[in-house]
């Protein structure tokens, strides 16, 4: 089912119906497109005075690439009893036990969710956000101490295009979905943003700082490129 605001563009060669979301941008210099894994749609950015005809032409020009990327997306993973939810890179089965008290809580390789079935998706989402907050803070503080900095705040969000960010005032923000990745991958993202507190750029000095904090840069970037889109399909 297409979500509101998404248009269906029909390709004839190869034949395919493509969900497209249009994004106007006064800062963009040219028409561009990207795949949104979370919504399984194409996002086309249109500069000022560019019409949708230019976007459709770009989609058709890159039709094979678009179709390949969409077809490779993992199926969505809903928060439901029996679903295998990754947590720290390890699958945990969601187990609904409505008559137990407390929770949600981890029980070995299971995430036990109590209460009404209708509340289960919200309770799982709340648990993951809280768990992400705890785990990310635990990773951030040693890196910050190593660099002699102190984050103003550490926040978790549901970002669509970035795993983490560092504001000029020292506020760090991260996707809660990092809690599903292996810890060494999350550690790289956290170290990356902490290093920005010293170097708010991607200069050689920044990369040297980052490599002093974590040895996982290349492997983590490769993991996020290959497996990150699947995390965006969860929930």
pLDDT band at 161 (very low <50, low <70, confident <90, very high): confident
192: which residues sit within 8 A by CB, 6+ positions away? 164, 210
Average pLDDT of the chain?
A: 93
User: For 151-164, what is the mean pLDDT?
Assistant: 93
**CA–CA separation, 197 vs 185, rounded Å?**
19
Chain-centroid distance, C-alpha 165: 12
Give me the helix-helix angle, 217-231 and 183-196, nearest 10°: 110
Enter the DSSP assignment of 234.
Answer: B
pLDDT for residue 85 is more than 90: yes
Lowest mean pLDDT among 14-18, 24-28, 206-210, 215-219: 14-18
pLDDT tens profile 114-146: 999 999 999 999 999 999 999 999 999 999 999
Cβ contact 53:101 at 8 Å: no
Tokens 């209708």, residue? Answer: 118
Helices (H), the chain: 52-61, 63-71, 120-147, 183-196, 204-213, 217-231
Give me the helix-helix angle, 120-147 and 204-213, nearest 10°: 110
Q: Is 52 left (phi over 0), alpha (psi -120 to 50) or beta?
A: alpha
pLDDT band at 218 (very low <50, low <70, confident <90, very high): very high
pLDDT for residue 106 is more than 70: yes
- The pLDDT, as a whole number, for residue 211 is 96
Instruction: Pick the more confident residue, 229 or 15.
Output: 229
User: For 49-67, what is the mean pLDDT?
Assistant: 89
């Amino acid at each position: 089912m297409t979500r509101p605001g998404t248009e269906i563009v029909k390709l004839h060669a190869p034949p395919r119906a493509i969900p497209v979301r249009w994004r106007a941008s006064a800062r963009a210099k040219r028409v561009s497109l990207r795949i949104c894994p979370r919504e399984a749609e194409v996002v086309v950015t249109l500069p000022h005075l560019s019409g949708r005809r230019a976007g459709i032409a770009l989609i058709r020009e890159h039709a094979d690439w678009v179709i390949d990327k969409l077809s490779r997306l993992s199926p969505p993973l809903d928060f439901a009893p029996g679903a295998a939810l990754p947590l720290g890179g390890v699958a945990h089965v969601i187990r609904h036990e409505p008559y137990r008290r407390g929770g949600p809580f981890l029980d070995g390789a299971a995430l036990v969710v109590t209460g009404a079935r209708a509340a289960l998706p919200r309770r799982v989402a709340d648990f993951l956000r809280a768990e992400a907050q705890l785990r990310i803070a635990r990773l951030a503080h040693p890196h910050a101490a190593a660099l002699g900095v102190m984050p103003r705040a550490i926040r978790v969000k549901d970002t669509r295009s970035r795993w983490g960010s560092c504001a000029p005032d020292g506020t760090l923000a991260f996707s809660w979905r990092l809690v599903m990745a292996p810890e060494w991958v999350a550690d790289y993202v956290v170290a990356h943003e902490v290093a920005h507190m010293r170097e708010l750029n991607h200069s050689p000095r920044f990369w040297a700082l980052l490599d002093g904090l974590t040895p996982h840069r290349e492997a983590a970037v490769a993991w996020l490129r290959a497996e990150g889109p699947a995390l965006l399909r969860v929930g």
